[in-house]
């Protein structure tokens, strides 16, 4: 069965995902429509409202930010349509996460995005809870600036000549403060099963040519360390170039593409 995809968002992630789907790059999936609140002149599929997308498609792919998940996630699942979430940071809202888990008959999926090793963390968690999980994310200062920051912090970030610690907290706290830059923290929390158990450190580095994520975890059965360094997307430096391809891989897995590593 071919999955008909409604793509929400036609930005840095959505354009790559939508173009690939329209070109038949994912076996078992086709682009049915695009949902975006801007007028699109070059889209390879009809631009529809969210309600129209739910009628036409059996898989909604969110590539437009945490707000879409909060506003539409439960309605998508209640309509019987499946939902693939890229902005996993929304799931640090415990009430929202519970409502999405309980909603149906549609199914909810998450993409790994810019980080790896999540499947192994989930497997290890089946043996015993991990006792120590830490994530350090390093990005260019300009991608981390937020409206809530005071002048002292902004000045330190803007004038830094080396790495500057911007914030520390749990995987529940950090994605709320950096809604476009720290979905990785939420993804690690989903894999571990407890956002309060994941300690996160956000670092701004003016010399960071790559966006870097380092995950360190340990428990009674072993110790694990994963490090990834991605080039930022030139159109949206807050995200990594690999993210749309992680979304495409996830669509392929949902559509049942043979030979996938799951």
Domain harbouring 169, CATH code:
3.30.360.10
- CA 177 to chain CA centroid, Å, is 15
SS3 call for 93: coil
Pair 107, 145 in one domain: no
Q: Nearest CA to 71 among 85, 58, 52, 59?
A: 85
Range of the domain at 143: 118-239
Let me know if residue 102 belongs to a domain.
yes
**pLDDT, the chain, mean:** 90
Pair 183, 229 in one domain: yes
Pair 43, 146 in one domain: no
Take residue 261 and report the two structure tokens written for it.
């590593």
Helix (H) / strand (E) element for 238: namely strand 236-240
Q: What is the pLDDT of residue 238?
A: 72
Pair 145, 97 in one domain: no
Q: Answer whether residue 53 shows pLDDT above 90.
A: yes
Q: What is the pLDDT of residue 113?
A: 77
Let me know if residue 260 belongs to a domain.
no
Catalytic residue among 210, 213, 221, 230: 213
Pair 53, 165 in one domain: no
Helix (H) / strand (E) element for 177: namely helix 174-177
Q: What is the average per-residue pLDDT within 190-206?
A: 92
Let me know if residue 261 belongs to a domain.
no
Q: Answer whether residue 101 shows pLDDT above 60.
A: yes
Residue pair 50/61 in contact (Cβ under 8 Å)? The answer is: no
Pair 133, 81 in one domain: no
Q: 114-153: per-residue pLDDT in tens?
A: 788 888 998 998 888 898 999 999 999 998 999 999 999 9
Pair 49, 129 in one domain: no
Pair 171, 98 in one domain: no
In angstroms, rounded to a whole number, what is the distance separating the alpha carbons of residues 159 and 39? 38
> Directed axis angle between helix 94-102 and helix 66-78, to 10°?
30
Let me know if residue 214 belongs to a domain.
yes
Percent of the chain, pLDDT > 90?
A: 56
Instruction: Count CB atoms within 10 A of the CB of residue 148.
Output: 7
Pair 249, 194 in one domain: no
Q: What is the pLDDT of residue 214?
A: 96
CA distances in angstroms from 25 to 30, 31, 260, listed in the order given: 9, 11, 14
In angstroms, rounded to a whole number, what is the distance separating the alpha carbons of residues 254 and 46? 23
Q: Which residue shows structure tokens 């669509």?
A: 251
Q: What is the number of structural domains in the chain?
A: 2
Q: What is the average per-residue pLDDT within 205-216?
A: 92
In angstroms, rounded to a whole number, what is the distance separating the alpha carbons of residues 49 and 35? 6
Per the annotation, the verdict on 230 as an active-site residue is no
Pair 134, 229 in one domain: yes
Pair 20, 105 in one domain: yes
Q: Answer whether residue 235 shows pLDDT above 80.
A: no
Q: Answer whether residue 204 shows pLDDT above 80.
A: yes
What ranges in the chain are assigned the alpha helix state H? 12-22, 50-56, 66-78, 94-102, 118-127, 141-144, 151-158, 174-177, 183-192, 243-255
Pair 83, 141 in one domain: no
Instruction: Give the CA diameter of the chain.
Output: 56
Helix (H) / strand (E) element for 164: namely strand 164-170
Residue pair 163/204 in contact (Cβ under 8 Å)? The answer is: yes
Let me know if residue 58 belongs to a domain.
yes
Take residue 231 and report the two structure tokens written for it.
């080039």
Q: What is the pLDDT of residue 262?
A: 57
Let me know if residue 145 belongs to a domain.
yes
């Amino acid at each position: 069965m071919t999955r008909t995809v409604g793509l929400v968002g036609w930005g840095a992630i959505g354009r790559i995902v939508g173009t690939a789907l329209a070109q038949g790059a994912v076996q078992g999936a086709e682009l049915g429509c695009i949902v975006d609140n801007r007028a699109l002149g070059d889209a390879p599929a009809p631009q529809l409202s969210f309600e129209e997308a739910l009628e036409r498609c059996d898989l909604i792919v969110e590539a437009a930010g945490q707000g879409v998940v909060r506003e539409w996630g439960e309605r998508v699942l209640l309509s019987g349509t499946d939902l693939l979430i890229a902005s996993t940071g929304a799931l640090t809202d415990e009430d929202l996460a519970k409502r999405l888990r309980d909603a149906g008959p549609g199914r909810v999926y998450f993409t790994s995005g810019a980080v790896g090793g999540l499947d192994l963390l989930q497997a290890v968690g089946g043996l015993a809870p991990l006792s120590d999980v830490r994530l350090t994310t390093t990005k260019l200062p300009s991608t981390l600036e937020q409206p809530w920051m005071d002048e002292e912090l902004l000045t330190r970030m803007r004038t830094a000549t080396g790495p500057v610690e911007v914030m520390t907290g749990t995987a529940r706290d950090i994605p709320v403060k950096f809604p476009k830059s720290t979905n990785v923290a939420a993804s690690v929390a989903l894999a571990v099963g407890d956002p309060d158990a994941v300690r996160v450190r956000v670092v701004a580095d003016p010399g960071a040519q790559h966006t870097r994520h380092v995950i360190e975890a340990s428990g009674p059965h072993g110790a694990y360390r994963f490090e990834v360094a991605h080039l930022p997307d030139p159109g949206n430096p807050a995200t990594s170039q690999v993210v749309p391809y992680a979304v495409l891989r996830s669509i392929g897995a949902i559509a049942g593409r043979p030979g996938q590593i799951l």
